[in-house]
Amino acid sequence: MKFFVDTADIAAITELNDLGMVDGVTTNPSIIAKSGRSIIEVTREICSIVKGPVSAEVVSLKADEMIAEGRKLAEIAENITVKVPLTWDGLKTCKVLSQDGFMVNVTLCFSANQALLAAKAGATFISPFIGRLDDINLDGMELIADIRSIYDNYDFKTQILAASIRSANHMKEAALIGADVATAPPAVIKAMANHILTDKGLEAFMKDVAATGQKIL
């Protein structure tokens, strides 16, 4: 499973990228607002750090405007993925931009039927939002599993990008189901390294190191 990092925090992207944990980046208008920078400027900086797909989201609602915005965003760098919402106009935009040869990430997906439409429209990525479904007492992971089955049934090439990931457990479940990519905030990716038994084991080892005075260097 590829890891995308869901942030515009340059320091966090750089740290994870240096460790080989970043296959791409996703942003959205709320993440850009949090960065306090212009979408063009911050996206350009992210693309100078990360080689894989960097999603930048359009900000209009009509297809002709979204297409123009998408083409402008795509000028930033070769690895730009134009992110469009899963609306009828977003699907039209997806069709046009993917035919132009650009990568397109269709976002705000909350149903298997929406994912089926995005694949038909030529999306490179479909972004089902797990956490936001869980928030309203639905099962986000069930949606990932449904989309996996449908895409496999018909050999759709659209990659399932599990989004709105809130926990390390979400990462494990997405990987078990076979999501192609998971995008998560830096803190969630880091939390994957945590285990209480690792902490306890290391504490015991360090006590023994101190007791014996062992040194390697």
Q: Which residues are catalytic?
A: 83
Using rule CB under 6 A, residue 9 touches ligand E4P: no
Nearest-CB residue to ligand E4P? 164
Q: Which of 183, 186, 188, 189 binds ligand E4P (CB under 6 A)?
A: 183
CA angle 11, 33, 3 (to 5 degrees): 50
Residues between 121 and 150 with contacts to ligand E4P, criterion CB under 6 A? 127, 129, 131-132
- Nearer to ligand E4P by C-beta: 81 or 207? 81
Beta carbon of residue 207, minimum distance to ligand E4P (angstroms, whole number): 40
Look at strands 181-184 and 125-128 and give their pairing: unpaired
Which long-range CB contacts under 8 A does 162-165 form with residues at least 24 apart?
162/127, 162/128, 162/130, 163/6, 163/26, 163/107, 163/127, 163/128, 163/129, 163/130, 164/129, 164/130, 164/131, 164/132, 164/133, 164/140, 165/6, 165/130, 165/131
Q: Which of 13, 23, 28, 126 binds ligand E4P (CB under 6 A)?
A: 28
Distance (Å, whole) CA 87 – CA 50: 29
Using rule CB under 6 A, residue 81 touches ligand E4P: no
- Report how many residues bind ligand E4P under the rule CB under 6 A: 11
Is residue 118 within 8 Å of residue 91, measured between CB atoms? Answer: yes
Beta carbon of residue 132, minimum distance to ligand E4P (angstroms, whole number): 5
Beta carbon of residue 35, minimum distance to ligand E4P (angstroms, whole number): 13
The pair of structure tokens assigned to 28 is: 């959205």
By CB under 6 A, name the binding residues for ligand E4P. Answer: 6, 26, 28, 107, 127, 129, 131-132, 163-164, 183
